[in-house]
């Protein structure tokens, strides 16, 4: 009798452990749907992926994709704004369900979190005035040029140094500073990402006669970061993105926010 009781208790405990293990990642999608909101970490200041409009409402490429995903899940979006460097750690610490802030997929980040199907792609492009510089087809044609980049940027300073051959490499704290010196002819060419560069071209560059190089250099996928513990959520969001891409949303939103399709 005692042995029977012990066996039954063991079975109950085992079932409890299995149930507990089954909760969490497998139930994350249902948990979000039951809650009615999906919490997304963002910097909120990375145009054109995400930034505040004149009404202080967040808009941009990230926002359009987030709303599409939320609609498919039947929930609302709750944005949690923070420093960019905190967005990826926030999903690891479960402060947010996802992170979206124009986040490039890198080997270092993949060690920390999982990434969904990508929804944008940003290669490195050159922006210049063809009336002043006439021999640039892409970032690799910067030999003998004065080049402007954002200091420490993976889509500016890093590729410029990889390519080399420039006359001078000027670094700036932000992209508006780079474009200001480009307009004032203190630099010959600006190297930056196609997404952020395309945004500036739409707002100002096209009217002033600047162009984006035909060729790009390198490139990285922009995706959504999700905790490695929430594999089901990553798979579900990836399915939604893939279906939307099949329906033409990838090209549509690229043109809307950058003026051209993403080049991979």
Confidence of residue 30 (pLDDT cuts 50, 70, 90): very high
70 with 186, same domain: the answer is no
Q: Whole-angstrom Cα distance, residue 227 to residue 208?
A: 44
Q: Is 247 within the bounds of a domain? A: yes
Structural domain total, the chain: 2
Note whether 113 and 202 are same-domain residues.
no
Q: Say if 5 falls within a structural domain.
A: no
**Are residues 243 and 207 both part of a single domain?**
no
Q: Answer whether residue 140 is part of any domain.
A: yes
- Kindly state whether residues 131 and 111 are assigned to the same domain: no
pLDDT of residue 23: 42
Q: Do 194 and 81 share a domain, yes or no?
A: no
pLDDT in tens, 76-88: 999 999 988 899 9
Name the pLDDT band for 26 (thresholds 50, 70, 90): low
45 and 164 share one domain: no
Can you give the residue range of the structural domain that contains 186? 122-220
Position 263 scores a pLDDT of 81
Q: What is the mean pLDDT of residues 186-212?
A: 94
**Residues 211 and 183 grouped into a single domain:** yes
Asked, for residue 82, whether it belongs to a domain, the answer is: yes
Res 4: pLDDT: 45
pLDDT the model gives residue 260? 82
CATH number of the domain that residue 239 is part of: 3.40.190.10
Buried b (16+ CB within 10 A) or exposed e, 215-240: bbbebbbbbbbbbebbebbbebbbeb
pTM over cut 0.85: no
């Amino acid at each position: 009798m005692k042995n029977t009781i012990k066996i039954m208790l063991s079975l109950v405990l085992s079932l409890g452990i299995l149930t507990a293990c089954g909760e969490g990642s497998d139930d994350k999608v249902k948990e979000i749907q039951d809650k009615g909101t999906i919490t997304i970490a963002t910097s909120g200041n990375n145009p054109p992926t995400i930034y505040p409009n004149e009404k202080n409402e967040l808009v941009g490429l990230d926002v359009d994709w987030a709303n599409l995903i939320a609609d498919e899940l039947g929930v609302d979006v709750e944005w949690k704004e923070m420093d960019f460097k905190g967005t990826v750690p926030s999903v690891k610490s479960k402060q947010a369900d996802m992170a979206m802030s124009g986040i490039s997929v890198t080997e270092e980040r993949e060690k920390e979190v999982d990434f969904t199907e990508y929804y944008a792609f940003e290669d490195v492009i050159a922006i210049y005035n063809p009336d002043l510089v006439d021999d640039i087809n892409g970032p690799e044609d910067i030999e003998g040029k004065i080049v402007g980049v954002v200091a420490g940027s993976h889509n500016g300073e890093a590729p410029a140094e990889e390519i080399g051959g420039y006359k001078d490499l000027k670094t700036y704290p932000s992209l508006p500073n780079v474009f200001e010196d480009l307009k004032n002819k203190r630099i010959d060419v600006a190297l930056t990402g196609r997404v952020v560069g395309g945004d500036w071209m739409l707002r100002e560059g096209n009217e002033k006669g600047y162009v984006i190089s035909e060729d790009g250099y390198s490139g990285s996928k922009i995706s959504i970061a999700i905790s490695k513990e929430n594999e089901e959520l990553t798979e579900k969001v990836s399915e939604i993105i893939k279906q939307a891409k099949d329906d033409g949303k990838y090209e549509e939103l690229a043109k809307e926010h950058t003026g051209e399709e993403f080049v991979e």
